[in-house]
Chain A
Amino acid sequence: MPVNRDTVLDWMRRFAGEMAEHRAELVRLDTAIGDGDHGTNMDRGMRKALERLDSADQADAGAVLKTVAMALVSTVGGAAGPLYGTLFLQMGGALAGRDEVDLDGYVEAWRKGLQGVQTRGKAEPGDKTMVDALVPAVDAMERAPDLDTALKEAVDAAERGTRDTIPMVARKGRASYLGERSRGHQDPGATSTYYLYRSAAEALGG
C-alpha cells in the first residue's frame, strides 16, 4: 500500500482499535511500575482523535497526523500525551503537503518523530521507555528494501525491543523512582509503541 492520506487514516483507526482492545493490558503493565493510567489515557486520547478526524476533512497524511497529535496533547496528559503528540506532530510535519510518499519519505518521517520524542523526553535506549521500541524499529525500516518488508521487520524489532525492556531498570518517568524494583516488568510505553507498528503494518503493508 502507498503511504497517503487514506492509508494513514486507516492506520490511525487501527491504532485506536488496538488502544481500546489492549487498554486493560496497558493499565496492568503501568500499574506495576507507574501510575496505572496508560491504557485509559491512550484509549481516551485516540477516541478523541477519531472524533476530530471524522469531523473535518484532512488535506493529506501530514494533516491526519497533526490532528491526531493535537487531540492526544490535549486529552492524554501525563508523559504519554506530549510524547505521542510530539511523535505524530514531527511525522506529520515531514509528510505535510505531499500526496504520497515512498519508503524513504516514510522512514524519514519516523526518524523526525523519534528525534522529537528523544528531545522532549530526553530518553536514551536502555532507559526502559518507548524509545526502546522506536529505535530498533526505525533502524530496521532503514535497512529494508521495500515498504512491506520494512513494516514487517519494524513490527518484529519493536516487539523484541519491547520484550527487552523487561530486565531493564527504569531511568526515566515515574518508574525510575522504583529503581531495582522496576526490573522484571515490561514497559507500558514501549508496549503501546509496538501496537502502533502493528497497526501500521496492517494498514500500510501488503
Chain B
Amino acid sequence: MKKLINAPDAVVQDALRGMEAAHGDRLRVSYDPAFVVRVDAPVEGKVGLVSGGGSGHEPMHGGFVGPGMLDAACPGEVFTSPTPDQMEAATKAVNGGAGVLHIVKNYTGDVMNFDMAADLGRGEGIEVESVLTNDDVAVEDSLYTAGRRGVGVTVLLEKICGGAAEDRRSLADVAELGRRVNANGRSMGMALTPCITPASGDPSFELGDNEIEIGIGIHGEPGRFREETRSAAEVAERLAGPIVDDLPFNSGDRVLAFVNGMGGTPLIELYVMYGEVARLLGDRGIQIERNLIGNYITSLEMQGCSITLLRLDDEMIRYWDAPVDTPGLRWGV
C-alpha cells in the first residue's frame, strides 16, 4: 500500500487539520468530537443542515459545508459511520432556532447513529428532522436487505436543500423538498479497480485485470455482476439503462445528469462517459437541464464512476442554481 499519509489511524484528524488550514476563513473544525461547521454558525432563523458519514468519500461531506449547502458535517473513520456525540454537538452548533435537518445516507450504521443523535438533539429541545437518501438501483431485492444505499443523490440533495434553507424556508418545507429529491433521483456505479482503506492496507475486493464490476457500492459493496472490460458507450448503457427503467424516466422529463468519479478516474474519462450519457438520454427524449461532472462522492482511490439522474421540477432548479460557496461546490458568489 502506498498512500500520502502519516499513520493509518491519524488520516481523518490530519485531513481535518488540512481543511482548517485551507478553509479556516469559512470553516471551523472541532476535533473532539470531530465535525466541520460554517464559521458563522448558527445562522439565526435558518434551518441548520447537518450531514455526515464515513470518511473516504471526499469532498462529501466536509467539502460541502458553507453558505448555500451544509451547515455542518461529521466525519467518521474511513468507511465507518460517525457517532451520535459528534452529530449531537454539530446539531447544537448549527441550531439557529429554526430547527435542524439531518441528511442521512441509507447505511445501517449511519441510520442508527443519526437516529440516536436525533433523540439526543430532541432531548435538548431542538427540533430535528431527518431525510434519508437511498438512490442506488444496483440493490435490487431491497425487501430482504438493509435497503438501497444512499449515493450520488446525496450531493444533489445537500445542494438543493441548502439553497432552500438559505432562502429561509421552514424545516418542514426543506425536509419535504429533500424527500422529493430523493424520490426523483436514481444512481448506479461501477468499478475498474478496488480501493484500499488505510487501516486494512488491502484491496476491499479483488477484480481481475480485464474485469469490471457493475453496480458497485461506494465502500466496495458487491454490485449486480462482473464482466469483461467494455467500451465507455457500453458501460454507460449498463448504468443508465437500469436507472432510466427504475424510476422510470420518460420522454419529456427534465433531468440533472451527474457523472461522478470514484476518486481514481481522470476527468477526461468522465467527460467520455458524460458524452455517452447525453447521447443515450437524447435518444430517449429525456432533456438534460443541468449537469455535474467530477469527483464529488468518491471511494478513496477507486477507479470507476457512477451516474445519477434527478428528475427536476422548477423549485429544484431554482435552488440548484442558487449561490453556493463551499470548498467542493462554488458558484454564483
Q: Say if the beta carbon of A176 comes within 8 Å of chain B.
A: yes
CA distance A74 to B35 in the complex (A): 13
Chain A interface residue count, Cβ-Cβ cutoff 8 angstroms: 29
In the assembled complex, B76 has its CB within 8 A of some CB on chain A: yes
User: Within the assembled complex, what's the spacing in Å between the Cα atoms of A116 and B115?
Assistant: 13
Chain B residues positioned under 8 Å from A177 (CB to CB)? 139, 145-146, 149, 217, 221-222
**Nearest CB on A from B78, distance (A):** 9
Residue of A nearest to B82 (CB): A77
Which chain A residues border B84 with CB–CB below 8 Å?
Answer: 73-74, 82
Question: CA A36 – CA B198 in complex, angstroms?
Answer: 13
- Secondary structure type dominating chain B contacts: loop
B214 vs chain A, min Cβ distance (A): 14
Contact call A73/B85, Cβ cutoff below 8 A: yes
**A102 interface residue per 8 A CB criterion:** no
- Is A121 within 8 A of B139, CB to CB? no
B217 touches A173 (CB 8 A): no
| Residues of chain A within 8 A of B149, CB atoms compared | 177
B107 partner residues in chain A, CB cutoff 8 A = 174
Which residues of chain A come closer than 8 Å to B43, judged between CB atoms? Answer: none
Between A82, A120, A121, the greatest number of chain B beta carbons within 10 A of the residue's beta carbon is seen for: A82
User: Within 8 Å CB of A41, what residues of B?
Assistant: 80
Residues of B within 8 A of A172 (CB): 108, 146
How far is A40 from B8 in the complex, measured between Cα atoms in Å? 13
Q: Tally chain B residues at the interface, Cβ within 8 Å.
A: 29
Cα(A76)–Cα(B217), bound, Å: 22
Complex CA gap A79/B77 in Å reads 13
Check: A115 CB closer than 8 A to any chain B CB: no
In this assembly, does B317 line the interface, its C-beta being within 8 Å of a C-beta of chain A?
Answer: no
Chain B hits for A120, CB < 8 A: 112, 115-116
With A79-B108, A177-B222 as given contacts, are A74 and B33 in contact (CB-CB < 8 Å)?
Answer: yes
Q: Considering the chains assembled together, what is the distance between the CA atoms of A82 and B85 in angstroms?
A: 11
Check if B91 is an interface residue, CB within 8 A of chain A: no
Contact with A along B70-101 (1 / 0, CB 8 A): 00000011011111110000000000000000
- Classify the interface of chain A: helix, strand, loop or mixed: helix
Question: 1/0 per position for B145-167, CB-CB distance to A under 8 A?
Answer: 11001000000000000000000
Is A113 interfacial (CB-CB < 8 Å)?
Answer: no
Which has the most chain A C-beta neighbours within 10 Å: B76, B84, B219? B84
Q: Is the C-beta of A171 less than 8 angstroms from some C-beta in chain B?
A: yes
Find out whether the CB atom of A73 lies under 8 angstroms from the CB atom of B80.
Answer: no
Closest to A72 in B: B83
Find out whether the CB atom of B144 lies under 8 angstroms from the CB atom of A171: yes
Give the chain A neighbours of B200 by CB distance below 8 A. Answer: 36
- Min Cβ gap B105→A in Å is 13
B315 interfacial contact with A, CB 8 Å: no
* A174 and B146 contacting across the interface, CB-CB below 8 Å: yes
A85 to B144, CA, bound (A): 25
A181 to B226, CA, bound (A): 15
Return the chain B residue nearest A77 by Cβ: B80
Q: Which of A40, A78, A86, A176 contacts B109 (CB 8 A)?
A: A78
Question: If A37-B80, A77-B83 touch, does A121 touch B112 (CB 8 Å cutoff)?
Answer: yes
Question: CA–CA, A74 to B120, complex, Å?
Answer: 13
B141 at the interface (CB under 8 A from A): yes
Choose one: A77, A85, A176; the contact of B81 (CB below 8 Å): A77
Least Cβ–Cβ distance between A149 and chain B, in angstroms: 34
**Smallest CB separation, A161 vs chain B (Å):** 20
Q: A73-B84, A73-B85, A77-B82 are contacts. A181–B222 as well, Cβ < 8 Å?
A: yes
List of B residues within 8 angstroms of A74 by Cβ: 33, 83-85
Q: A35-B219, A82-B116 are in contact. Are A179 and B145 (CB under 8 A)?
A: yes
Check: A3 CB closer than 8 A to any chain B CB: no
User: B145 contacts A176, CB within 8 Å?
Assistant: yes
Tell me whether A174 and B199 are in contact in the complex, defined as CB-CB below 8 angstroms, given that A41-B80, A81-B113, A85-B116 are known contacts. Answer: no
- A7 at the A/B interface (Cβ < 8 Å)? no
Q: Which residues in chain B, 1-54, are within 8 Å of chain A measured between CB atoms?
A: 33
Compute how far the CA of A163 lies from the CA of B4 in the bound complex, rounded to whole angstroms. 42
Q: Is A58 an interface residue (CB 8 A)?
A: no
**8 pairs, A vs B, C-beta closer than 8 Å:** A74-B83, A74-B85, A77-B82, A81-B81, A82-B115, A171-B145, A172-B108, A177-B149
Residues of B within 8 A of A (CB): 33, 76-77, 79-85, 107-109, 112-113, 115-116, 139, 141, 144-146, 149, 199-200, 217, 219, 221-222
Query: Which residues of A are interface residues toward B (Cβ below 8 A)?
Result: 35-37, 40-41, 73-79, 81-83, 85-86, 120-121, 169, 171-174, 176-179, 181
- Other than A73-B83, A77-B80, A83-B112, give 7 A-B pairs with Cβ distance below 8 A: A73-B85, A74-B85, A77-B109, A79-B112, A120-B112, A174-B219, A178-B222
**The 8 A-B residue pairs with the shortest CB-CB distance in the complex, in nearest-first order:** A176-B145, A82-B112, A78-B109, A74-B85, A79-B109, A77-B80, A173-B108, A79-B108
